[in-house]
Chains A and B, each alone.
Chain A
Amino acid sequence: DAKTTQPPSMDCAEGRAANLPCNHSTISGNEYVYWYRQIHSQGPQYIIHGLKNNETNEMASLIITEDRKSSTLILPHATLRDTAVYYCIVRVLEYGNKLVFGAGTILRVKS
């Protein structure tokens, strides 16, 4: 699985958009970008994933650059409950394939 690079921490004001970057310059053509988050030692929670097109769901939007070497997770209106560690993971969509977690980005949403 391709390695990802994320900033160790970010701050965001409550109600503003949180934009979390991820670099994955060695991503392969068949690898997807997944985002998970972990709120205060709870189990990791799936947010969104994509291959090359931008994706949006009820939680977030995922913007993947055209060359697929980087992506941005956008939380459109961050709340205090979005304070968490956010993990960007690149992996092949193959059933039974594990997730490999890095250190992630600690997002602190402040009032």
Chain B
Amino acid sequence: EPEVTQTPSHQVTQMGQEVILRCVPISNHLYFYWYRQILGQKVEFLVSFYNNEISEKSEIFDDQFSVERPDGSNFTLKIRSTKLEDSAMYFCASTPRGGRNSGANVLTFGAGSRLTVL
């Protein structure tokens, strides 16, 4: 079964450093998402991306965050200057494009990247 692949699985960084989290969505998917989950809290939407631009972003997704699809396969989340409160699991997800009644609007999530900011 096709998978969304995320790397690294765990990254430890110092406060103020830049971090890039990488995702390889499922190959025929066209919508991409980032979510985060702080330990013990809800899964929170960060941003959605389609046709090389941001479709929607949450209040969490401020100027220190950016997303990019640098080539035909990768989808990245960059955190410019990490803070302690950025420590969380970050999940990438993707979904295909299909007809309204096709039932294909299912987000498939990756296993996540755990970010620890010290």
Interface residue ranges, A against B (CB under 8 Å): 34, 38, 41-46, 49, 87, 93-103
> Which residues 51-76 of B have a CB within 8 angstroms of A?
55-56
**0 or 1 for each of B22-58: is its CB under 8 Å from A? (1 = yes):** 0000000001010101000011110010100001100
Name the A residues within 8 Å of B106 (CB-CB).
34, 46, 49
Count of residues in B whose CB is under 8 Å from the partner chain = 30
With a cutoff of 8 Å between Cβ atoms, the chain B residues found around residue A102 in the complex are: 42
* Contacting residue for A98 out of B33, B97, B103, B111, CB 8 A: B33
The answer to whether B112 and A41 touch across the interface, beta carbons within 8 angstroms, is yes
Could you tell me the distance between the alpha carbons of A28 and B16 in the complex, rounded to whole angstroms? 45
When distances are taken between beta carbons in the complex, the residues of chain A under 8 Å from B101 are 93
Which residue in B31, B43, B95 is a CB contact (below 8 Å) of A101?
B43
A78 to B50, CA, bound (A): 38
Interface centre among A46, A87, A96, A101 (most CB of B within 10 A): A96
B89 lies within 8 A of chain A by Cβ:
yes
